[in-house]
Amino acid sequence: MTDEKSSGAARKPLRRTIRGGRPVFFADPATDKVLNMVITLASEVWALRERVMAMEALQVRTGSLGATDVDDYDFTPEQEVRLGGERKEFIDNLFRVLQEQVEAAAAKSPSAREHVKRQPGVFGARVSAVSKKPKKKSPAKKPSAKKKSRR
Amino acid sequence: MLELKHELKLRKTRDEKARMNFVSGLRAHVLMDMANGMRAVWDADVAPEFRKRHRRDPKDGPEVHKAMKPNEYFKFYSSMRVTAQDMVWQSVLGPLERQRADLKAKAQDLDRRVGLGSLNLKPGFEVPRSVTAVDVHLMSGNYDGEYEPDDLAAGAVYDNGLAVFSFGLMGQNLDDLGQSIAGFIRLKYPDFKPKKILDLGCTIGHNTGSWKDTYPEAEVHGVDVAAPCLRYAHARAQAQGRAIHFHQMNAEQVEFPDASFDVVFSSMFLHEVPRKGIEKVFKEAHRLLRPGGLMLHMELPPNSQLSAYEAFYLDWDSFYNNEPFYKPFRDMVPQEVCARAGFDPKKYVQYVVPSRGGYGEKIWSESVNQQDTVDSDKTGRLAEGVRWYCFGAWK
């Protein structure tokens, strides 16, 4: 686990777009993209079902799960942060097919590139619980540096 | 998702919480990541195409809108934003349905137990058609939906919905803009000590309370047309220990005497009012203020002070979010509306106030002396780095 994390951080992320584009079958190419999202979502929902089923089976086996335990449970702040990061990844992944158009735009125009690579981050940890992983400290400097020059 | 911090908050099952978390995350994705992506697509694809065809830059928001409309990324951004908006309210309706009776009992209990402030409803009050015609910002049931006597469900939809909608950017108590702006006025004008404060179109009073916190000695009133929101506002204020007086009145015709207030405030209100109504609201504000009093409206920035792209970006709600008066309001020139209502143009004010919760006390308080320009993708836009825009005039 540790090994995967440290080596992953140093590497350039694997490309997840398809060079040469993807085949289109419907009259409106958007329909193909929506289908992609729906199927991605279905696979995530199924993964979740299997995980929940496995967890419940384990709990029942040890006798540690009561009837309303799951509904009554609140995540700890640490768990919220972790979930927030995973949720962001889940959503990014679900709509990855749309990111291709943005990346093509960024490749074409320097100002488009600026908009894409701009990291929010001004509000730091407050939003992190819902939308961000609590790493990546350095890129967050950019917007605040920009603010100062404007003043 | 943000958890409300008062006792009226709804209880949710694990799955309901998860759905709310998902919608919050989805909105953050659309309004931040995809908003940046759409700007990139504009810069790289749509704007160059526009310049090639017209041999000039677009002159306003509608020209950008027209050029963007056929673009696939714009369609996805818009369709996903509409879906997310709908899902915000839907995520609340499930748990609320189960707890309607409980909510009513809690409100009655607060009245008995706390008894702060007052609730002044008018039986037979007619809610204006500008509010009832459509479900504002796609909120099922709207502000005024009533299903039984003493109903306050619509207020609960709005409060719990905003917690999902705002992904933390409206503050832990959904009053960041109230806290930022009321506090800003106190810092900037230390000698100004208002005794009576009025909040127009206050809905559930989430920003009305900030004025009470900022000026604890003042008598604070809120008016709105929607009874269920006012009932909820009264209960919510009591749950938070604030004495606020809520009245069912139309901001275009407020039933208080001339020169009876030191501050007349509104937040996110004018853009839901037709132009003719806005003119009346400003005249009422002028009438209600004592000499030396302040009218202040927190709003989306006006198109006259924005670039064509930023104007297009903010106009989106007018076309796709059931807020038909949003663009007409933003097309008005604030200085001119204030002057028409009788305010001295020399006494016009406008401020860009950094979100107090977001930027922290230091940057927020420094803005009293150092003002940023209005045109920015951070002004009035619900994204990280939001800065609240407000304008008005001294009487």
**What does the pLDDT look like over B199-208, one tens digit per residue?**
999 999 999 9
Taking phi over 0 as left and psi of -120 to 50 as alpha, with beta for the rest, B254 belongs to beta
Q: At what angle do helices B72-113 and B14-28 cross, to 10 degrees?
A: 130
Helix (H, G, I), strand (E, B) or coil at A101: helix
Residues of chain B with Cβ-Cβ distance to A120 below 8 Å are: 32, 383-385
- Note whether B321 and B382 are same-domain residues: yes
Q: Does B26 touch chain A (CB under 8 A)?
A: yes
**Is A3's pLDDT higher than 70?**
no
Are B235 and B8 in contact by the 8 Å Cβ rule? The answer is yes
Helix (H, G, I), strand (E, B) or coil at B253: strand
Q: Does B375 touch chain A (CB under 8 A)?
A: no
Average pLDDT over residues A79-99: 88
* Range from A41-55, B9-23, B338-352 carrying the lowest mean pLDDT: A41-55
Structural domains counted in chain B: 2
The answer to whether A105 contacts B36, with C-beta atoms less than 8 Å apart, is no
What ipTM is given for this predicted complex? Answer: 0.76
Alpha-carbon distance of B313 to A118, in angstroms, equals: 18
Average pLDDT over residues B310-328: 93
Residues of chain B with Cβ-Cβ distance to A33 below 8 Å are: 76
Helix (H, G, I), strand (E, B) or coil at B291: strand
Are B357 and A126 in contact by the 8 Å Cβ rule? The answer is yes
Query: Which amino acid makes up residue B246?
Result: F
- State residue B41's pLDDT score: 97
Span B372-391, pLDDT tens digits:
778 777 787 777 788 999 99
Alpha-carbon distance values, B284 to B25, B197, B232, B277 (Å)? 41, 14, 26, 10
Residue B197 has φ and ψ, to the nearest 5°, of -125, 135
Mutate to test the interface with B, among A94, A126, A146, A151 (most CBs of B within 10 A): A126
The two most distant CA atoms of chain B are separated, in Å, by: 69
Burial class (CB in 10 A: 0-12, 13-18, 19+), A5: exposed
Bridge partner list, B141: none
- State residue A140's pLDDT score: 40
Residue B181 belongs to some domain of the structure: yes
Span B267-293, pLDDT tens digits:
999 999 999 999 999 999 999 999 999
Residue B120 belongs to some domain of the structure: no
The answer to whether B76 contacts A33, with C-beta atoms less than 8 Å apart, is yes
Residues of chain A with Cβ-Cβ distance to B26 below 8 Å are: 91
Name residues whose C-beta falls within 8 Å of residue A80's C-beta, 6 or more positions apart in sequence: A129
- State residue B225's pLDDT score: 98
Residues of chain A with Cβ-Cβ distance to B36 below 8 Å are: 102, 115-116, 118
- Note whether B28 and B100 are same-domain residues: yes
Question: Closest partner residue to A122 among B26, B72, B358, by Cβ?
Answer: B358
Are B343 and B286 in contact by the 8 Å Cβ rule? The answer is yes
The CATH code of the domain that includes B286 is 3.40.50.150
Residue B31 belongs to some domain of the structure: yes
Are B245 and B221 in contact by the 8 Å Cβ rule? The answer is yes
Quick one: which of B220, B172, B176, B171 has its CA closest to B194? B220
**Is B12's pLDDT higher than 50?**
yes
The answer to whether B41 contacts A127, with C-beta atoms less than 8 Å apart, is no
Question: Closest partner residue to B40 among A88, A102, A127, by Cβ?
Answer: A102
Residue A23 or residue B33, greater confidence:
B33
* Range from A131-145, B83-97, B254-268, B336-350 carrying the lowest mean pLDDT: A131-145
Of the candidates B106, B138, B163, which is a domain's last residue?
Answer: B163
Residues of chain A with Cβ-Cβ distance to B73 below 8 Å are: 98, 101-102
Quick one: which of B213, B180, B96 has its CA closest to B365? B180
Torsion sign over Cα A31, A37, A42, A43? positive
Alpha-carbon distance of B208 to B173, in angstroms, equals: 12
Alpha-carbon distance values, B317 to A80, B313, B330, B342, B381 (Å)? 31, 9, 11, 30, 11
Alpha-carbon distance values, B371 to A51, A122, A141, B245, B383 (Å)? 52, 18, 21, 34, 20
Residues of chain A with Cβ-Cβ distance to B364 below 8 Å are: none
- State residue A2's pLDDT score: 47
- State residue A132's pLDDT score: 37
- State residue A118's pLDDT score: 62
Helix (H, G, I), strand (E, B) or coil at A53: helix
Residue B311 belongs to some domain of the structure: yes
Highest average pLDDT, of A49-53, A95-99, B114-118, B135-139, comes from B114-118
Q: Least CA distance to B21: which residue of chain A?
A: A130
**Is B371's pLDDT higher than 90?**
no
**Is A93's pLDDT higher than 50?**
yes
- Contacts with A, B 338-357, CB within 8 Å: 355, 357
Are B201 and B233 in contact by the 8 Å Cβ rule? The answer is no
Q: Least CA distance to A143: which residue of chain B?
A: B385
Percentage of chain A lying above the pLDDT 90 cut: 6
- Note whether B102 and B210 are same-domain residues: no
The answer to whether A127 contacts B168, with C-beta atoms less than 8 Å apart, is yes
Residue B363 belongs to some domain of the structure: yes
Question: Closest partner residue to A111 among B14, B43, B358, by Cβ?
Answer: B43
- Note whether B40 and B177 are same-domain residues: no
Residue A4 or residue A104, greater confidence:
A104
For the sheet containing B219-224, what is the strand order?
Answer: B118-120, B245-248, B219-224, B196-200, B261-267, B289-299, B387-394, B348-354
Alpha-carbon distance of B221 to A65, in angstroms, equals: 50
- State residue B289's pLDDT score: 98
Separation in Å, CA of A35 to nearest CA in chain B = 13
- State residue A4's pLDDT score: 52
- Note whether B140 and B221 are same-domain residues: no
Residue B232 belongs to some domain of the structure: yes
Helix (H, G, I), strand (E, B) or coil at B338: helix
Q: Does B168 touch chain A (CB under 8 A)?
A: yes
Mean of the per-residue pLDDT values of chain B: 94
Span A5-61, pLDDT tens digits:
444 456 777 777 777 777 888 889 899 889 888 888 887 888 888 888 888 888 888
Helix (H, G, I), strand (E, B) or coil at B213: helix
Kindly calculate the radius of gyration of chain B based on its CA atoms and give it in whole angstroms.
21
- Note whether B245 and B210 are same-domain residues: yes
- Note whether B108 and B177 are same-domain residues: no
Q: Least CA distance to B168: which residue of chain A?
A: A127
Name residues whose C-beta falls within 8 Å of residue B211's C-beta, 6 or more positions apart in sequence: B178, B182, B197, B199, B218, B220, B263, B265
Average pLDDT over residues A99-110: 90
Range of the structural domain that residue B29 is part of: 14-114+130-163
Average pLDDT over residues A89-109: 89
- State residue B288's pLDDT score: 98
The answer to whether A115 contacts B168, with C-beta atoms less than 8 Å apart, is no
Of the candidates B122, B140, B163, which is a domain's last residue?
Answer: B163
Residue B226 belongs to some domain of the structure: yes
Q: Does B75 touch chain A (CB under 8 A)?
A: yes
Torsion of CA B228, B6, B298, A150, to 10 degrees: -150
Span A120-132, pLDDT tens digits:
444 443 343 333 3
Residue B39 belongs to some domain of the structure: yes
- Is residue A133 very low, low, confident or very high in pLDDT (cuts 50, 70, 90)? very low
- Note whether B158 and B176 are same-domain residues: no
- Note whether B136 and B174 are same-domain residues: no
What is the H or E stretch that residue B359 is in? helix B356-359
- State residue B379's pLDDT score: 81
The answer to whether A126 contacts B358, with C-beta atoms less than 8 Å apart, is yes
Alpha-carbon distance of B306 to B319, in angstroms, equals: 18
Question: Closest partner residue to B40 among A70, A71, A115, by Cβ?
Answer: A115
Name residues whose C-beta falls within 8 Å of residue A124's C-beta, 6 or more positions apart in sequence: A140
Quick one: which of B390, B384, B391, B375 has its CA closest to B314? B375
The residue written with tokens 């501050």 in the block is: B263
- Note whether B222 and B302 are same-domain residues: yes
- Note whether B327 and B383 are same-domain residues: yes
Alpha-carbon distance of A50 to A38, in angstroms, equals: 19
Helix (H, G, I), strand (E, B) or coil at B387: strand
- Note whether B157 and B212 are same-domain residues: no
Span B146-193, pLDDT tens digits:
999 999 999 999 999 999 998 888 998 999 999 999 999 999 999 999
